[in-house]
Chain A
Amino acid sequence: AQTVTQSQPEMSVQEAETVTLSCTYDTSESDYYLFWYKQPPSRQMILVIRQEAYKQQNATENRFSVNFQKAAKSFSLKISDSQLGDAAMYFCAYRSAIMGMDSNYQLIWGAGTKLIIKP
């Protein structure tokens, strides 16, 4: 079974600085997707960024980028120029990409990292 581990329960960063959130996962599959979701105090679950395992290039979305190390099964999120609005819980999630009638495309979640932005 696949597992996702976020070892940092809480991180803090000064506004305008850069912070990296860690995520490791365990899987025997070769084809999968990895996601970072953000959950602000409103509790809405918002997709931040997505990475396809078959792509070597790291995904980037504006100030958010990932460092995807497939062999190490590591998927960290870098937030540049941190803003107050970035304060939230960040969840790393795994999803199988194996096609088939019995395939299960549920998201498997890490425990989350609470990101605090200091003004």
Chain B
Amino acid sequence: SYVLTQPPSVSVAPGKTARITCGGNNIGYKSVHWYQQKPGQAPVLVIYYDKDRPSEISERFSGSNSGNTATLTISRVEAGDEADYYCQVWDYSSDHVVFGGGTKLTVL
């Protein structure tokens, strides 16, 4: 089965740029989606199709995907960005949904 690997945690100072990676075999050939989850809340889609943003999501959120790594980038990080972030793909070989293990973003 397809596996997505995320770092457990990333720390960043306010105003700086956070990069959260999602590793997978040839993930560059798949569409990657990213979710933000704050404590006690349901996940929220922040990036879909590798780099597209829902209209309600800040332009500070961006995504890229190439080779074996997809990346969620958060620019000018704010305290309110502190959350867990998950990547997700559709594995066409099995028609299964796959989530990464999640990354906790801490704003210092």
Q: Do A and B bind each other?
A: no
Which of A's residues lie within 8 Å of B, judged by CB? none
